Chain A
Amino acid sequence: MRVLLSGNEAVARGCYEHGVKVATAYPGTPSTEILENVVKYKDDVYCQWSPNEKVAFEVAMGASFGGVRTITAMKHVGLNVAADPLMTSTSVGGDGGFVIVTADDPGMHSSQNEQDNRYYAKFAKIPLVEPADSQEVKDYLGAAFEISERFGTPVLFRLTTRISHAKTPVELGERTEVARKEYVKDTSRRVVIPAHARRLHVAVEKRLEEIRRFAEDSPLNRIEEGDPAVGVISSGIAYEYARDAFPTATFLKLGLSFPFPIDLAREFCSRFETVYIVEENEPFIEEHLRIAGITNVIGKEKIPVCGELNQGIVRDSVAKNPAPSDRAQVPPRPPVLCPGCPHRSTFFTLNRMNIGSTSDIGCYTLGVMPPLEGLDTCICMGASIGNALGFEKAIGKEFAKKMVAVIGDSTFVHSGMTGLADVAYNKGATTVIILDNSITAMTGHQEHPGTGVTLMGEPTIKLDYIALAKSMGIEDARKVDAYDLEAVKAAIGETTENPEASLLVVEGPCVLMDRKSWGPALEVNAEDCTACGMCLRLGCPAISKDDEGKAAINPLFCVGELCSMCAQVCPVKCISVPVEAAAS
């Protein structure tokens, strides 16, 4: 059967068909839907969300030691978090097939940087497999497992946003079971004391050369004959753009691009006067060629390093006189905190109290937008707490009253707990605010250890933030209802005044999770409204000004009484539940 699957769905289908038994991940766009789809095969494939990518990686590595085919999936920056196990797993690997899926985000559609994770393959000295569409994703995943098992190495499997999130046709197949390899204790391989590690490094170098020879004539690296005068080398999604930009050219398409098949590339390049190297972001292929002294190539001198490519950009970058872009001037439409979002009260309150925040990554990062403007910093997951402590150590304890750490619940579990321990241990006065909406919202609502449900849908133990903080020695650990503005203000006031560390958990479930809780939209009594603009300071997309400057609530957007932050801030109390609704 031929169906349309996204690249992420194709990874999941590939896990099923190629006999994977364990799959782990921490969510992150554009990789999230991989595990969300693997769970559809949960009778055959055990799958789980881990608290972060490092743990996800380690669980997968353990499962590979245990002898079964395993994947772990993450977004590009997730591999930074898992880089420690990655760098050593590569000398140990070689039990059940082990594939690490990285989903990079050229163009930074939903990311803080544009790092090109192909370099991780080179850095960690493991094979790199790069599919270009969903069919290849599914097929190459099988090839990746074979390479992993044959050479005893983890394999890096690289997707990018336009592979992960593009749907393309895929021919479905059946599942092939792969027998578990019996576990045999072998400390010389799995315990990396220096004496063992020195020997393992030599083995890795030897293995790399063997895989390179294998890559030279692997079917994953293919030549597509065309115009004998124009040669193009490309891989991954860039290959698709290049095919459209150079419709008649001869192509060397790389699917197993590290260890780099240099003989194949050299032979290919020798057939042409110049060869175009089409790559998104970094010159990964180009560097291999240039280091080998192959210089009849055109790559990054023409094709941009920054941003996502497409066929138009590739075409224009090599054209003599590209037509200028004819973009119209239109005001931006950035994403914003949703109407009814529980995060709004914290940023509104901080803003009113003139307190800044070191913050973190999640929906709440949108609190940076006017009029809330509640963020001073946002760097990477978990950074908020360490950053706040650093500010305090640099400027003085008093500064902790003016700068709190704001972090989401999923992010806190991901990498905030160690920061909190640091605050306690190093006697910080820092106030840490956990915005607990009981879900990983930004990436589309995934469970985590603080929600009490697993990926496979089973109820489980729920992390207690208050008890955790107390066990670290933080006495002032408390909760507050996100929708009670007075209480939020009082709690922030008290915790920041406290000269010792405090933890404040602001609780309110994400409004998108339970649409049934939405009531009729609130209404403004225009007669009483003084056009003071107070409610507009909430930055709620449902509230705007009418012609007279008075507040108007869009009934299609407002979630009703459950939020009512606007009614709470209105000094003349002219916002309320509609009369008919209140009566019924």
Chain B
Amino acid sequence: MDKVTNVFISGVGGQGILLASEVLSEVALARGLDVKKSEVHGMAQRGGSVVSHVRFGEKVYSPVIAEREADLLVSFEKMEGLRWIHFLAPGGTVIVNSQEIVPSGMEAYPDGMDEGIRERQPDALLLDALGLAREAGNARSVNVVMLGAFSNYLEFSEDEWTKAIEARVPPKTIDVNLKAFRLGREAGRR
């Protein structure tokens, strides 16, 4: 495996993006791969736009993904998916939570986000991660639902994912999170 795999995750501060990228990085590290993960701290809890870059492979240099380099572009919120879509590599995969979070200062959610995404990536996968998270038993597990959804497109086994989730989430929430992961994994299959 010479090529570096680039996973770009975006969303809104407070959605738990960092946990998802953390689990992915640990899975890749446990495989014995080189891994780099980069995000910017500080504004995460204050409702701003948040991104995390994860790169893994035999040897990784830059910790960030450049435009047109993401093999997998995952967004935890719809308009954040469109905001970063120019990072997608030709032939890359797009997975977006269809949840809409109105940016503060705007009165209503802008139109045309779905169309914008589809225009650039006709087979983008939009799914209702918030609904699935509620079904799993906790609306806050959107991040793990999304992790489940994009796990289908990476070469790690369900077992490797499960182990990393168990190691990373609070013990009391393991069951909910594993359920969220499985629901996401099913919904993310094509």
A264 at the interface (CB under 8 A from B): no
* Interface-central residue, A166, A333, A369, by most chain B CB under 10 Å: A333
B116 at the interface (CB under 8 A from A): yes
Which of A32, A165, A310, A336 contacts B39, CB < 8 Å? A165
B45 at the interface (CB under 8 A from A): yes
Q: A328-B85, A338-B45 are in contact. Are A165 and B25 (CB under 8 A)?
A: no
Would you give the shortest CB distance from B133 to chain A, in whole angstroms? 12
Would you give the shortest CB distance from B189 to chain A, in whole angstroms? 27
Interface flags, B112-129, vs A, CB<8A=1, else 0: 010010001000000000
Closest B residue by C-beta to A547 = B108
Residues on A with C-beta less than 8 A from B29 are: 2-4, 169
Residues on A with C-beta less than 8 A from B103 are: 331-334
Closest B residue by C-beta to A554 = B102
Residues on A with C-beta less than 8 A from B116 are: 328, 330
A30 at the interface (CB under 8 A from B): yes
Would you give the shortest CB distance from A304 to chain B, in whole angstroms? 14
Check A29 against B42 for contact (C-beta < 8 Å). Answer: yes
Q: A240-B62, A240-B63, A328-B116 are in contact. Are A167 and B36 (CB under 8 A)?
A: yes
B40 at the interface (CB under 8 A from A): yes
Which of B39, B48, B61 contacts A243, CB < 8 Å? B61
A335, B13: Cα distance in complex, Å: 9
Check B47 against A541 for contact (C-beta < 8 Å). Answer: yes
A185 at the interface (CB under 8 A from B): no
Check B13 against A310 for contact (C-beta < 8 Å). Answer: no
Check B104 against A166 for contact (C-beta < 8 Å). Answer: no
Would you give the shortest CB distance from B132 to chain A, in whole angstroms? 17
Interface flags, B58-100, vs A, CB<8A=1, else 0: 0011111111110000000001101101100000000000000
A326, B116: Cα distance in complex, Å: 12
Would you give the shortest CB distance from A509 to chain B, in whole angstroms? 15
Check A330 against B83 for contact (C-beta < 8 Å). Answer: yes
A366, B48: Cα distance in complex, Å: 12
Check B48 against A165 for contact (C-beta < 8 Å). Answer: no
Interface residues of A in 533-580 (CB under 8 A from B): 539, 541, 544-545, 556
A244 at the interface (CB under 8 A from B): yes
Interface flags, A226-245, vs B, CB<8A=1, else 0: 00000000000100110110
B49 at the interface (CB under 8 A from A): yes
Which of A312, A336, A442 contacts B66, CB < 8 Å? A312
* Interface-central residue, A109, A313, A331, by most chain B CB under 10 Å: A331
State the main secondary structure of chain A at its contact with B. loop
Would you give the shortest CB distance from B139 to chain A, in whole angstroms? 8
Residues on B with C-beta less than 8 A from A325 are: 67, 86
Closest A residue by C-beta to B66 = A312
A407, B48: Cα distance in complex, Å: 23
Which of A244, A323, A370, A556 contacts B61, CB < 8 Å? A244
Residues on B with C-beta less than 8 A from A539 are: 104-105
Interface residues of B in 153-175 (CB under 8 A from A): none
Closest A residue by C-beta to B120 = A328
Residues on B with C-beta less than 8 A from A545 are: 107-108
Known: A4-B35, A110-B41. 13 other contacts (CB 8 A): A33-B41, A110-B42, A162-B38, A165-B38, A169-B35, A241-B61, A311-B62, A313-B66, A328-B83, A328-B120, A333-B48, A337-B46, A512-B45
Closest 4 CB pairs of A and B: A312-B66, A166-B63, A335-B48, A335-B46
Name A residues whose Cβ lies closer than 8 Å to a Cβ of B. Answer: 2-4, 29-30, 32-33, 109-110, 133, 161-162, 165-169, 237, 240-241, 243-244, 310-313, 315, 323, 325-328, 330-338, 363, 366, 369-370, 442-444, 512, 539, 541, 544-545, 556
Name B residues whose Cβ lies closer than 8 Å to a Cβ of A. Answer: 12-13, 25-26, 29, 34-43, 45-49, 60-69, 79-80, 82-83, 85-86, 102-108, 110, 113, 116, 120, 139
